[in-house]
Amino acid sequence: MMTNINAIKTQLEAIISPEVFDFETDEDFAQSYREQRKSFLLNRMKLQAQLMLIIGLTLTAFFIWVNEGIPAKIHALRIGILLESFILICWFLCKNPLARRYSQIIFLSLSWSATCAIQVDTAILFNYLEPMTNIWNLMFITQATIIPVQWRLHLISHVGTMVCYLGLYAVYRPKFQLPLAHYIEEGLYLFWTGTICVFSVYLYEKLKKKEFRAKRELEIAQEQSERLLLNILPAVIAKQLKHQPTTIADNFHAVTVLFADIVGFTELSSQTSPSELVELLNQIFCLFDELAEIHSIEKIKTIGDAYMAVAGLPDYRSDHALAIANMALDMQKSVLKFNQKNNLSFQIRMGISTGPVVAGVIGLKKFAYDLWGDTVNTASRMESHGIPDNIQICEATYQILKDKYLVEKRGLIKIKGKGEMMTYLLHGRKI
């Protein structure tokens, strides 16, 4: 029995105070929700003001028609004009830039224009103080339906209506025309209506908070997925792949490819724990990634302790060889600083080649942007047949860099699969 009571209590607590995932403690989400709620409130108040203007016109015309005698018709017209003017002011205020700051005041003004204003007007003009519970209930239900946000405002508008009427009653001390049972019944119905309206708005607002947070979390997840995709693929290729999930292959007639390899890394792996080895490699490659970002160069991939990058694609740039040369020289400096900081003696061997390539994405799973062609093979051979702590370049790259960089002729060397090739060593920039 006690277990059933606790279960029922837990269910009631979940309904009355549903979990909102610590929404109030997350200032970013809370601020975003407040801004969204203000926009929703203002748009709905504009709609309500327009509806109230239309209803006010029809009711004014109706009362002018049903009332007999000129004085009564004039009184009805006065009340109608006063009410419509009040609603019209609220409507214009909703369009004012200050409305976002004072939206709660406009909300209460709209509410009380249909409840308190009419009650005050009829009391002053006709000395008529019968409680207009039908109009009050209609207003409460309409607002809870059209503007179901900020349940505290709804509660204030309801209480304000009651306080206004009690104030008028204290001033005029009217005699009620109907039996007491009628007023008790109307009061209970009004209390039930107001309670249901406020409670429904409260639950609606809790639900909207959950929905808003879920939407924001989905948007953040999509943004993170987008960033992750952009870390794997160039932005142009990622966009193309999303709209065209097929094989992507493009020809580029002039790019410069860089291969870099850490000398002695294989031997080091037998002397160092795998976790420490990976951490060292990650630190070095992160330095290279930062340089690639600085020089606007596209990192292609890492293979073990080898690093591959290219300049001139997917967006063409005329200075692709210069960009790669600058990055290669900065990579040498970064490894030197890394060694000094960590008391290590890593050496880096690099190879550069310039020419045409084919670049694209192939396969169905684990997409990767890659390069193919003789230029890629030559850059790889320049690195593998190079000298530690040196940057070896091919003839095509040399012809572009020779006027602006310090280049030493190494001479002909035998390259596997390509025969003898003229190679050069890049040492620095010319002053």
**How many angstroms separate the CA atoms of 115 and 197, rounded?**
16
Counting residues of the chain whose pLDDT is more than 70, the rounded percentage is 88
pLDDT one-digit tens code per residue, 93-108: 888 877 778 888 888 8
Q: Mapping DSSP to helix (H, G, I), strand (E, B) and coil, where does residue 258 land?
A: strand
Of 423, 357, 416, 419, the residue nearest 396 (C-alpha) = 423
- Backbone φ and ψ for 349, nearest 5 degrees, come out as -115, 130
Q: 253, exposed or middle or buried, with CB in 10 Å at 0-12, 13-18, 19+?
A: exposed
Q: Which of 22-36, 272-286, 370-384 has the highest mean pLDDT?
A: 370-384
Question: Long-range contacts of range 71-75, CB-CB < 8 Å, 24 or more positions apart?
Answer: 75/125, 75/126
Sequence-distant (6+) residues with CB within 8 A of 237 are 248, 314, 360, 361, 369
What is the model's pLDDT at position 366?
66
Residue 389 in tokens: 């702590």
pLDDT at 334 over 60: yes
- Name the segment(s) of the chain with CATH classification 3.30.70.1230: 237-429
Report domain 237-429's class. Answer: alpha beta
What is the model's pLDDT at position 242?
66
Of 154, 80, 148, the residue nearest 114 (C-alpha) = 80
Determine if the pTM surpasses 0.75: no
Confidence of residue 14 (pLDDT cuts 50, 70, 90): very low
Sequence-distant (6+) residues with CB within 8 A of 406 are 426, 427, 428, 429, 430
**How many angstroms separate the CA atoms of 76 and 423, rounded?**
101
Sequence-distant (6+) residues with CB within 8 A of 121 are 78, 79, 82, 83
Confidence of residue 23 (pLDDT cuts 50, 70, 90): very low
What is the model's pLDDT at position 12?
40
pLDDT one-digit tens code per residue, 52-96: 888 778 877 887 887 777 777 877 787 778 778 888 888 888 888
Residue 246 in tokens: 């097929």
Mean pLDDT of 156-180: 88
**How many angstroms separate the CA atoms of 102 and 29, rounded?**
22
Give the C-alpha distances (Å, rounded to integers) separating 430 from 196, 291, 336, 402.
81, 20, 21, 9
